[in-house]
Structure formats: structure tokens, C-alpha cells
Amino acid sequence: MIDIAEIKYPHLDRILLLRPNPEIVLGKEIYWTIKEDGSNLGVALTPEGDLALRTRNMSVASEEFYTHFQSTDEIAGVHELLADAQNWNDGYVVFGELCVKGRSPARTEVHDRTHFVVFDIWSQKIGRFMNYTQMHQQCHHFELPCVDLIGTCNVNARDALYEFKDLMLAEAECRGKEGVVGKVWDENPWNTGAGAGTKRGIIYFKEKLDTPKLEKIPRSEVHGTVALPVLPDSEVSGAIEKAYADLGADFFDVRKAMPLVAQYVAEECRKHNCANPKDLYPRYLARVRDLQEASA
């Protein structure tokens, strides 16, 4: 039986923020769907045959969300879909947008009734999300609404990707929706995300009408290690002295002292957001000499 607490919906970034870079989706088939304006809700079946609900950040949804979902016309279809999967020795988590009657969270829509729109189905048997076609078929069989597919593309340049993205956003705007979601079901095993650990991963991203087009404004970027200030001398000396206080006579044994000195200096660097000094070993030796001379 599936544990809904372990199946968390992935966080979606914009194209520009994809890692390692936006080019990760170039040359791949991208499916563009409408982004509904509601609350992310996951639904699974308990061993007793009851519905278990989770939100994006909570493994157990609030009573309020249970009440909202129970009032939808889609609850019976979702239950039938989950029960059917169980009969075929599979466990599903149906993810969808719970659109509560009234003004939507992003204030882009006014819902005339509380309803549920499916946008993903997780399958325990295959260990990943179904692709759009598979999800659509499941929803069709059980008369459940799913997010509209409004376009597909496969481009080999970032500019072409952004151009198609703008076209998809224009379509979303025409429909009175807040944006779009792009999805790639990638065959390359090194990709991570909700499909990590399987032979097939996913790359999901979102674009919304109310976000600035960062890719079209000037930007400066210098690659490489961030240039942090070196840890001040007083903090280095304090860290060395702390090691001396902890070790006592063992402070004079470099094999015991230096690892602890390095540890304490590293802690101070993190605390002060500074870089490690390059002369740490000579600084340690200088302190050893000072202590030896003082005791002579």
C-alpha cells in the first residue's frame, strides 16, 4: 500500500532557474499545460479503502481541505480510479488543483463552485509520474477533468524556447488562467526530481503571467567561487586559542591540534560568512612557539 507522506509533489522553478541550466530541456519533447489557480492536493487510498489527502507541504491535509474535497463532484471518480489501480496491484497518488468556490488564491479567477482538476498521477508500480497521455487516459476512463494540454515543442536553442513560452503564456492569458506548466519525461537517468532513482526522470517548470521576463533584461554573471573576505585575525586567533583550551598539552601535537584548529576556524568562517585563511598552519606554529617561549 502506498504511503502518501512519502510522495511529495516536486517544487517547480521557472525555466531560467532550472539546474544545471535552462539548456537541460533543449532537444527534448516538452508538454505545456494550463496552470490552474487553486491549492495543490494529493489523494491516495488507505488500506481500509478511505481517501487520504495531503497538501504540498503537509503529509496530512487539514479538516477544512477534507471538507472542500468531499464537496466536489470529482470525489467519486477519484475514489474509483484509486480503487481500480489497487485492483491491478498498483498504488496511485492523484495530484490535482483544488479550486475552492470564490476568488482564487492568485486572484486570477472566480470559481463558481468547488472542484478538482487532475494534473498528475503518481504510480507506485512504475515509481514515477505518468506522462500526459497516460494521465489523460486514466482521467477519461473515470470522467475526471484534467489540465488542458495547449502545446508541445522540441527546440534546440534557448531563444526558441522562450519564444514558445511567450506563445503559451499568451494562450493562458486568453483563457483567463494564471500561467502554464512545462513537463519533460526524460529518458536520461542522471536527471533528478520526482522520478529520481528510476530509469526515467522528469523535468517540470512553471511560467506565470505576473512574473517579470528576467531572460529579456540585462544581466551580469561571473562564474567561479564567490569572493568572500578572509576571516579576521582576531577570529582566527580565538579559534586557535579555543583548540588550545580544549586540548591542553596535546595542543603541541600537530596531529591532534590541527584538525581541531581547522574545525574551529571553519565554524567561525561559516558564522561570519568569511573565507578560510591560507596561513592557518603557520599561525598555529606561531602560537605554539609563543606558548613554549612563555613557559621557558
Q: Has residue 187 got a pLDDT over 70?
A: no
Q: Enumerate the β-bridge partners of residue 31.
A: 152, 183
pLDDT tens, residue by residue, 118-173: 999 999 999 999 999 999 999 999 999 999 999 999 999 999 999 999 999 999 99
Q: Has residue 234 got a pLDDT over 80?
A: yes
pLDDT tens, residue by residue, 254-270: 999 999 999 999 999 99
Determine the angle formed by the axes of helices 254-272 and 280-295, rounding to 10 degrees: 120
For the 4-216 domain, the top CATH level (class) is: alpha beta
Question: What confidence category does residue 290 fall into, taking pLDDT thresholds of 50, 70 and 90?
Answer: confident
Strands lying side by side in the sheet with 51-55: 51-55, 39-45, 92-99, 115-123, 128-129
What are all long-range contacts of 53-59, with beta carbons under 8 Å and residues at least 24 apart? 53/4, 54/4, 54/5, 54/7, 54/8, 56/8, 56/9, 59/4, 59/5, 59/8
Determine the angle formed by the axes of helices 280-295 and 233-247, rounding to 10 degrees: 60
Give me 16's grid cell.
Answer: 531560467
- Domains of the chain: which residue ranges? 4-216, 233-295
What pLDDT does 35 receive? Answer: 95
pTM above 0.85, yes or no: no
Question: What confidence category does residue 207 fall into, taking pLDDT thresholds of 50, 70 and 90?
Answer: very high
Determine the angle formed by the axes of helices 132-141 and 75-87, rounding to 10 degrees: 110
